Structure 1
Amino acid sequence: MDPHLLLCQIHTERLDLWLVLCLLIYLPIVHILRYQRATSLERKYAPEGRKSLRNMTAEDAQSILKTLAELEFPSLYGFSMVVALFRTYGIPSISSLLVSTGQLKSRETASKRAADTGVLLLEFGLNKPTSERAIEAVARMNYLHSRYQKAGKISNDDLLYTLGIFALEPSRWINRYEWRCMTDVEMCACGTYWKNMGDAMEISYSKLRSSANG
């Protein structure tokens, strides 16, 4: 065999070997780095497994969801919140109220309401529950709802449905379309965060079968 061809063959085989070795090293590193935030959250908030989740606070939950919204699933998390908002329009009592207020009569007013709602969601979603900005955002939301509640145009069922949609929609989209599913810690954070929000809105959970257990 031509020495030159033999040398080329040896180099090619070595290159193939190096490529295989690099791939074998690369894949575990990618896996570790991609899951490091989820692993870190598990270690911090569930050191003893699922039983640790009962101790999760509203501030813990907000911090976890902020990580999901800004770092883990920034595109789909935000999209799922928009979907949640528009799903509420499918409830006749909610959509009829919006129509009566004129907020859905034109593209301008409809987009303004969506933008205003988005601002409030961001304010109490990205700031700690005890922060001034979050407290003011919740107070503003309650004020906007109050006159319609007093007039009997917004029911507790409407508020409870809306709360549930915002709590559940992100996990539905993330678990179906993102690169990984949400963990137990992240699911618990969704429930804890929105339960705290419901408490701040004075929503009754008596219609839920689990309400007797808190």
Structure 2
Amino acid sequence: MKKQLITYVKYDIEGFDPRIHALNAFFTCFVDYEHSSKDFSISTVETDDAMAVMYFGATVDSVLVNAGHQTKNLYKLVKFITEKELWPTVTKKKGARIRFIGSKIESDKTFSQVVEALRIEKDPELNESIRTYDIRLFRIAYTAVGEVGHNRLMGLQPGASGRLAYSKIKTILRKSKDGFFKRLFKRIFKFLVFIAVVAIGYSILASGYLSSLHL
């Protein structure tokens, strides 16, 4: 028998915009890591459609029929960014290879503009949602939305949107790890080259000194 989820809130779907909900499913995956708790791993949604619906929710004929168990802490923020038309359009720089999200890309907007809009809005709930999480995670999520396209995400099922987020998160972590080892290897290689040069230089100087003694 499958273990039931008992640690998540069941949300009331009244007033939820299904398109915003799908976008929120994607965005929230990058920011709120409740899906990495001991009771539930988001990796299960990759192959289990029922789990994807249970966690992210589902729409039928453009109507949200299941809000899912995923936290809705950021729903209002996602709605705010959408209504203010602050989502970015992110493109890859010509000739660049994206090693990590947020690098070697071009964006027509930044998350700093969202922060400024929130400052002007002075909504306590929105400001609290920003303070609750690491600002770096917001920037990563914001850029990820720009890479995929917020309109595209709003047209997906919440489960498909969430799965796409999880796939991108895995790619980011893998590339970040690969990049770390590449940098480490380069540093070790440079150090070894330095040692070799010093050793060769010392050998040349030493041989010259010994030759002078024979004279």
TM class, shorter-length: under 0.3
Q: TM-score, normalised by structure 1?
A: 0.26
Per residue, is there more strand in 1 or in 2? Answer: 2
Q: TM-score, normalised by structure 2?
A: 0.26
Report the structure, 1 or 2, having the larger helix content: 1
